[in-house]
Amino acid sequence: MKTVRLSNGVEMPQIGYGVYQVEPSECERCVSDALSVGYRMIDTAQAYHNEEGVGAAIAKSGIPRDELFVVSKVWISNYGYEKAKASISESLRKLGTDYIDLMLLHQPFCDRYGAYRALEEAYREGKLRAIGVSNFYPDNFIDLASNVEIPPMVNQVETHVFNQQIKAQKYMEEYGCRIMSWAPLAEGRNNFFTNPVLEAIGERYGKSVAQVALRWLTQRGVIIIPKSVRIERMEQNINILDFTLSDEDMAEIAKLDTGKSLFFDHHDGEVTKMFMGWR
Ligand SMILES: NC(=O)c1ccc[n+]([C@@H]2O[C@H](COP(=O)([O-])OP(=O)(O)OC[C@H]3O[C@@H](n4cnc5c(N)ncnc54)[C@H](OP(=O)(O)O)[C@@H]3O)[C@@H](O)[C@H]2O)c1
């Protein structure tokens, strides 16, 4: 599996499997399927309520722990130093592991500085191998990265062909941080799977729209975690390293960028109010 090196030297698989919107009752089966077709990085979160399913699949897989890379995220209801610290212990328990490979703050709201201190402490204690953030767009990202002792090593943000995060990626790289994409397939929005540009490129290589879009992200150095509950799609989504998009293909796909979210704008007051309801 191709890896990327984080700022602390930890090697992280560039392709992983995400379990957002995977029902807790289905999660163990899905993660077992994902492991069976070759995934070694799993992305979950406290807010997905399926960390136990991830842990159960890992335990049953028989794969040595050091060959796996587990990512989770602290939810905003657990922000502030004390609550975040307790929630990290709870995630470790649910995942059935002594350490989490990468722990992120899920959202840039509430007492994120207190929560981040808990991440730094757990990192120093060896409970977390790497730490970072998610949904921290340049303003919040630069603010946090400039005011903590251990700058975020990864920032997981909405990144796909329609919202490419070119400028945000440059800021992250300036601070030694890796970009990780959520919704690499845009969750199928905006007629993603029948996009004519992606279809035409796919036909030239004998690849699906999903494979073209995922390959484009990895060629930009982006870490990806496509989600599917179907094993044949899991397999399709991981098998993307046997072809290379040309500079012309990359330039064609670059034109699809709208620079806007297909989900929600973290700078919109109504969105902030929505998150305050989920504390
Ligand atoms: N940090 C955050 O705030 C945040 C937010 C969202 C997501 N995430 C993470 O990012 C991961 C991926 O994002 P996402 O789950 O939102 O969306 P996504 O991976 O962009 O898209 C998933 C959707 O695409 C379908 N699909 C997957 N592979 C396909 C293929 N090869 N052909 C056709 N359809 C395919 C899936 O359907 P089926 O399942 O039916 O196959 C599902 O409906 C999540 O699971 C989660 O780990 C993080």
Q: Angle 63-67-70 (CA atoms, 0-180°, nearest 5)?
A: 95
Nearest CA to ligand 1 atom 26: 228
Extract the tokens encoding 45.
């979160």
Q: Answer yes or no: is pLDDT of 121 > 90.
A: yes
Query: What single letter denotes the amino acid at residue 263?
Result: F
Is 48 among the residues known to form the active site?
A: yes
3-state SS, 60-107, equals HHCCCHHHCEEEEEECHHHCCHHHHHHHHHHHHHHHCCCCECEEEECC
Residues with CB under 6 Å of ligand 1 are: 18-21, 43, 106, 134-135, 156, 182-188, 193, 208, 210, 225-230, 233, 236-237
Which candidate, 217, 200, 216, 207, places its Cα nearest to that of 239?
207
- Which is it for the CA torsion 130, 131, 134, 137, positive or negative? negative
The structural domains of the chain, ordered by start, are: 3-276 (3.20.20.100)
Residue 190 pLDDT more than 90? Answer: yes
Per DSSP, what are the bridge partners of residue 223? 180
Q: What percent of the chain has pLDDT over 90?
A: 100
147 pLDDT more than 90: yes
Q: What is the mean pLDDT of residues 218-246?
A: 98
**Which residue is catalytic, options 39, 48, 123, 137?**
48
Question: Distance between CA atoms of 254 and 246, rounded to whole angstroms?
Answer: 12
Mean pLDDT score of the chain: 98
The confidence band for 179, taking pLDDT boundaries of 50, 70 and 90, is very high
pLDDT at 1 over 90: no
Buried-state track 194-218, b at ≥16 Cβ within 10 A, e below 16: ebeebeebbeebebbbbbbbbbbbb
Instruction: Read off the pLDDT of residues 28-51 as tens digits, 9 standing for 90 and up.
Output: 999 999 999 999 999 999 999 999
Q: What is the pLDDT of residue 250?
A: 98
Range of lowest pLDDT (199-203, 205-209, 274-278): 274-278
Give the pLDDT mean for 263-276. Answer: 95
237 Cα to the center of ligand 1, angstroms: 11
Q: Using 50, 70 and 90 to split pLDDT, how confident is the model at 67?
A: very high
Distance of alpha carbon 1 from alpha carbon 40, whole angstroms: 8
